[in-house]
Chain A
């Protein structure tokens, strides 16, 4: 069965000033799958990920050429960025809960969209926390500061916060790199569950993680996508020599 294509980039180039960080990227990312980006440090994975919800707008020197189609619409064209970001959520490498209560952290996004109804908010907060597998741990301290949570809990809170926006896509930039194996396992588990409702794109440095959780994998190198395909194929039978070298750890 062919899945619907969520993101489609065409000849995407990105420049930081004079430096070209992404070179002619052509990728099709399918709906309700986990897509992993792997590649050595500095190859442009984060840069590409941040293109997908236009977080690069924050950086003055960025210039983008080419097209990024989201459900067929060019997101660098005439669209509402706020609306795009509510549909494409993002979880960052370092957990970044706001210095507010756990409840407020999750209610923040919906409130910014104008949701005021207390019972609706309560329900949304609870559902999001349950989906993010955090409810049991925090249900008695919803009004305590989110900064008092452990790193792993904070990251799950950030995921819950993103889920509360009911997005279509969740972008995750090395979401487990600051966490211990147990917390990592919890979040990986969570992603497999979330994938039936959401399209997930994850950047990771861990081959095992990519292998465990993703359906498709893209291998980035020096701003280019060297190889992209079904995860099992990439990991067992890569077409490109460089992919094989990287995956087997022989890469310099």
Chain B
């Protein structure tokens, strides 16, 4: 066999391997997009995952319609993944809004319901209050279930409209805020990223500074390094179990945003320490000597000269970390929970997109929805990556000429 043939053979294998890798990647991303893209729309991004039922207290006040019947028919804010129009809409003066009847269908149930299809600008619905007197918002596509104790169940659209019109004093309406979106999961994910980075990055950077600048090389440092290396190889479910036993139970932090981000921060630490250490090591000794020779202290040298030079490396650590937090499922499942809500405090639970995708796929068997969440995850990772790239370019001292 000639050398050329051998070369070509080797080249062929390299190309083949690259080709296979690329096509697998494209196939996976493509699969997720094709499966899930049908579900991704504005509502999907802006709505909560679960429906929310509450009572709204509304003034009884006539407001006439400012648009004509044709225009009213065009207002169809229904979630066409689940809802299709049967009847209406009809404008009802004393709530200053139009209602319509739709069928609601998802993979578990099918029923008819009344929804609000249009709201006038100065409609009494726009300054509704909840039972505690707090101001609340009623939007289009909200479902209405009863008024002043009378259920709409079984009524035709006309009968329902008449029922509303016949009320004389203040209206107490049972409304359902539609769910099916992942807004809360997106926000939880961002909180989780932010919080765990805020915990892990300073710890990691200071740890790395200690290891490279202060600790005497020797058995102790090597032990720490070895431990960090081992940590990064441990599957995250183990950290999840630890987080559950320690943060959730022992420290009584409950299943919460805080427990979750502390647990993830531990997972991130080895990566951050490692990359920061590498970055610190590449800072030329001549900078340190130059600084010390000018009478700067060691601490000044580290913070004013060495660390700024290490920013690109630290940025890489941040990038890796973001991906890690967004992608984490097992550890967060156990420590931050699966409740699809925006965590109001550090001690409230909340599920990140990844946990939600896992939950939806596993518990509800809804692959489409999980894929739709997958798309959002991919987009968020890309956006966060771009943002931190831009940040690190801005901070890179070697880039400024």
Contact = CB atoms under 8 A, between A and B. Distances in A.
Contact of A55 (B293, B300, B309): B293
A99 B400 CA distance: 8
Interface in B287-335: 287-297, 300, 304-305, 308-309
Interface string A149-167: 0000000001001100100
Interface in B375-401: 397-398, 400-401
A98 interface: yes
Contacts of B284: 96
A98 B287 contact: yes
B401 A86 contact: no
Size range of the chain B interface in the assembly = 20 to 34
Interface in A95-111: 96-100, 108-109
A85 B293 contact: yes
Given A94-B286, A112-B297, A99 B292 contact: no
Given A83-B295, A86-B295, A145-B400, A98 B289 contact: no
A196 interface: no
A148 B399 CA distance: 10
A121 to B, nearest CB: 14
Interface string A44-81: 00000000010100101000000000000000000000
Given A99-B309, A112-B304, A158 B290 contact: yes
A100 B285 CA distance: 16
Contacts of A94: 286
Contacts of A90: 289, 293
A97 B304 CA distance: 13
B401 A98 contact: no
A148 B401 contact: yes
A206 interface: no
Contacts of A145: 397, 400-401
B304 A92 contact: no
Contact of A108 (B286, B297, B304): B304
A85 B401 contact: no
A96 B289 contact: yes
A151 to B, nearest CB: 14
Contact of A165 (B290, B294, B304): B294
Given A94-B286, A97-B290, A162-B293, 20 more contacts: A55-B289, A55-B292, A55-B293, A58-B285, A58-B289, A96-B284, A96-B289, A96-B290, A98-B290, A99-B308, A99-B397, A100-B308, A108-B291, A109-B294, A109-B295, A109-B296, A112-B291, A112-B297, A158-B290, A165-B295
Interface of A: 53, 55, 58, 60, 82-83, 85-86, 89-90, 92, 94, 96-100, 108-109, 112-113, 144-145, 147-148, 158, 161-162, 165
- Top 5 nearest A-B pairs (CB, nearest first) are A86-B295, A109-B294, A99-B397, A96-B286, A90-B293
18 contacts: A58-B285, A58-B288, A82-B295, A82-B296, A85-B294, A85-B295, A94-B286, A96-B290, A98-B290, A98-B291, A99-B398, A108-B296, A109-B295, A109-B296, A144-B401, A145-B400, A147-B398, A165-B294
